[in-house]
Structure 1
């Protein structure tokens, strides 16, 4: 026999879990100090510049 499920409670539980997942993502995204966030941004920019510096020129770009 199937288990009886209260749909109202199931809907509320689903909403709670969705809100908790969103809160966890926001804590990871916004929960860092400004100095740490700026440091990570500088490191990402440096890595992007280094990556661009190692790019080979495309065959049609003969300059």
Structure 2
């Protein structure tokens, strides 16, 4: 198994809703075999980041 293989990569992702910046220069790299958790307060942009990753925004 090649665990150095990158399976998800986001670089400098910015998502704005009008003048409101929901995600500001997000970087994320996940390699094969890794498990990650996205933690943060309400309104921190976790769901927005995942929606961007899934192509919903």
Larger Rg: 1
Q: Which has the higher helix share?
A: 1
Q: Structure 1-normalised TM-score?
A: 0.22
The structure with the greater share of residues assigned to strand is: 2
Higher relative contact order structure (alpha carbons within 8 Å, sequence separation ≥ 6)? 2
User: TM-score normalized by structure 2?
Assistant: 0.24
